[in-house]
Chain A
Amino acid sequence: MTISIPLLLKGIFVGIIMFFIMAFQEISTAIFLYRGGWETLPIGLYLNWHRGMEFGIASAMAFLMVCVVFILLIIAARIGGGILKVAWGASGRD
C-alpha cells in the first residue's frame, strides 16, 4: 500500500485527465442518447453547425473545447513528465 499507491499516483492522475478529455469530446454515443435539456457542448456544437448553420457560434464552442483540452493536456504533461509519455497513454498501445 505505501509503495504501490505513490508509485501509481502519477499514472492515475494522467489517466484521469486523459479520460476526462476523451469523455468531454464524446459525441458518437451521446448524439443518440441525449434528450432535451441534456445537451453537452459537442451536441450543441453539432446542432449549431449542422442544423442551425450558426458557424460562428459552433466555431466558438469548438474553440472553447480546444482550449479546455489544451489546458488539461498541459497539466497532464506537467504531471506525467513530458508530452510524449502522455500521448503514449492516449494512443492506447504499449
Chain B
Amino acid sequence: MSVRQGYEAGAGGRMSRPRFLLWHRTVRSEIVLSGFVWLVILFFIVYPVAFLVLDSFRIANTGQLGFHNYKAFFSDLYYLNTFLRTCLLSGLVLLVTTALSLPLAYILARYKLRGMTFFTALTLLPIVLPAYAGAFAWVVFFGRFGTFNLLLMRWGLISKPLNLLGFPGLVLMQSLHLLPFMVLSLMAAYSSIDPALEEAAEVEGASGIRRFLTITLPLSTPSYFAGAVLVFLWPFTDWLTPLIFGVTDLLPTIAYINIAYHFTDVTRRYMGIVSVVIASLVCVGSFLLLKTWIERKRYTGLSKGTLLGGRTIRPRLAIRIISYLYVVFISMLILIIPVVLALSGFSRRWVLTPLPRYWTLENFQLIFTEAGRLVYNSFRFSSVALLMGVFFGLLMAYLLARTKAPGRAGLEFVNSLMLVFPGVAVGVAFLRAFGMAMASLWLPTGSSCRWRFSCGGYRIFCAWPMLPTNSWTLRWRKPLKWPEPESSGHL
C-alpha cells in the first residue's frame, strides 16, 4: 500500500468518530471555513486573473472584445519568433538538465561514498538561491572579459574571448538553476524503487546499464515527468535571467519590457499582455497534462513508499573516482555563485583582471547608509507576506488534511496550480485589477491608486506531517501608509 493510501485510510479512520458524534457542528464550521478560503481565492486569484484574460481580448480604442490581439500576436513574425524561441529554450533546458541530473541523482541516491551528504546539500542550494543572483555571478565570471575568459587567454588556450552569455549561456544558467528540482525528483524515484525488483533483474543476469535502462529508468518516469514539467515551465516564467544575459526575445521578457517600459504604446502593451497570457496558458496546460498523465500511470504499487533510504551500492574504485569528479564539478559551478558575488561585492572597479585588485567595504556601507530602507522594506514586506502565508497555509492544510469540506479537490487544484503560475502574470494581473491608474506606479505623487497587493503563490511546507501536501498561499503586501515622495538614495 502506498504512503498516500495509508494516510488517507488513517485520516478516514480518525474522522469517523467525531463526525458521528458532532455531525452538524463539524460540517457547518468546515463549510464556513472553506467558504472563507474560497472567497479569498476568488478575490486574490480568480478576479485578477480574469481581469488579465479579459484584457487580452480587448480591442484597442474600440471597447469591444475579440481575438484581434491573439491574431496580431501570431501573425507578427517577431512575436511568433519569440514564442518559438521560448519553446526552443524550454526544450534545450530540459535536455541539458536531464543529461546533467540523471547521473548526478544516481550517484547521490545510490552510491555509498564519503561526504555525499555535503555534496547533496550543495547541489540543492540553487533551490533557495534567487535565480538572478546566479545570473549576476555568471555574467561576472563567464562574461566576455570575465575571470574565466581572461584566465583561458592568459594560459594561451584561446586567443579571442568566448561568448558564454547570450542564448547558449542562458540554457546553461537555467539548467544549473533547475538542476536541484530534477535531482530531487530523480533521487526520490531511485530510492523509492523496491530493491527486490533490481535484485531480481541482477539474478536474471541483467548488467548494470541494462538494469538501469530496463528497470530503474522506466520505474522512475512518473517522478521524472513531475520534475520535467517544472523545468520545462521555468523559461516561460523567468524574465530576469534572459534580460541579464542580453536575450530579450523570449515571452516573459518581452512581456515585462512591453508592459513596464512601453505601457503608453497601446500595441506593445496589448502584445505584452497577450504574451503573459500565453505563457500562463503554457504553464497551466502542461501542468494539467502532467496531472492527468500521472493519474493514469501510477507505479506506487511497485515502490516501497518511503522517501529516503533506498538501495545503496558500493561502487568500484574507477566509478568512485569518476563520481567524485562529476559531483565536484557540479558543486564548483554552484559555488561560483556566492564566491563571485562576494568577490565583486567586496571590491571596487573589478575590470579586466581575473581577480579584483582593490578591496573595499564601500559597497556594503553604501547599502546600509543610503539604501538601508531597502533592507528594512525587504524584511517588512516579507514578514507581512509570511503572516498571511502562514495563516492561509495552515487553514488550507487543515481543510485539505483533516476535514471533508466540500470542494477540497478544487482547493488542492488551485493550490498546486499556483505553483506553476508565472510571477509576471500575477504581477500584471494585480496591477490591472487593483492598480486603478497604472501611471501612478511611476509617478511618486500619483493620486488615485492607494492599494497595492502582491500575491504570489508560495508554498508552505507545512503542517500536517500526516499529509504530504504543500500549501500554496497568498502573499499579501499591505500598504502601511501613503508613502512620502522622497528620493531613493543613489538608486
Contact = CB atoms under 8 A, between A and B. Distances in A.
A81 to B, nearest CB: 11
A31 B469 contact: no
A89 B129 CA distance: 15
B133 interface: yes
Contact of B342 (A18, A63, A90): A63
A58 B386 contact: no
Contacts, number: 274
Contacts of B227: 93
Interface string A59-94: 111111110011001000100000110111111111
B444 A37 contact: yes
B228 interface: no
B124 to A, nearest CB: 4
B375 interface: yes
A56 B347 contact: yes
B462 interface: yes
B491 A39 contact: yes
Contacts of A55: 136, 140, 344, 350
Contact of A32 (B349, B428, B462, B468): B428
Contact of B132 (A20, A46, A52): A46
Specify the main secondary structure of chain A where it touches its partner.
helix
A15 B460 contact: yes
A35 B128 contact: no
Given A41-B378, A57-B367, A84-B120, A32 B469 contact: no
Contacts of B180: 87, 91
Contact of A90 (B128, B137, B350, B364): B128
Nearest to B484: A37
A23 B86 CA distance: 26
A50 to B, nearest CB: 7
Contacts of B483: 35-38
A31 B244 contact: no
B382 A49 contact: no
A30 B307 contact: no
A94 B180 CA distance: 15
B235 interface: no
A30 B132 contact: no
Contacts of A27: 130, 132, 240, 423
A19 B389 contact: yes
Contacts of A91: 127, 180-181, 184-185
B412 to A, nearest CB: 12
25 contacts: A18-B460, A19-B459, A23-B389, A26-B454, A28-B422, A29-B454, A29-B475, A31-B260, A33-B435, A33-B452, A37-B444, A39-B377, A42-B132, A44-B371, A49-B136, A52-B490, A52-B491, A59-B363, A62-B136, A63-B338, A66-B337, A69-B129, A73-B128, A84-B308, A93-B185
Interface of A: 7-8, 10-12, 14-16, 18-50, 52, 54-66, 69-70, 73, 77, 83-84, 86-94
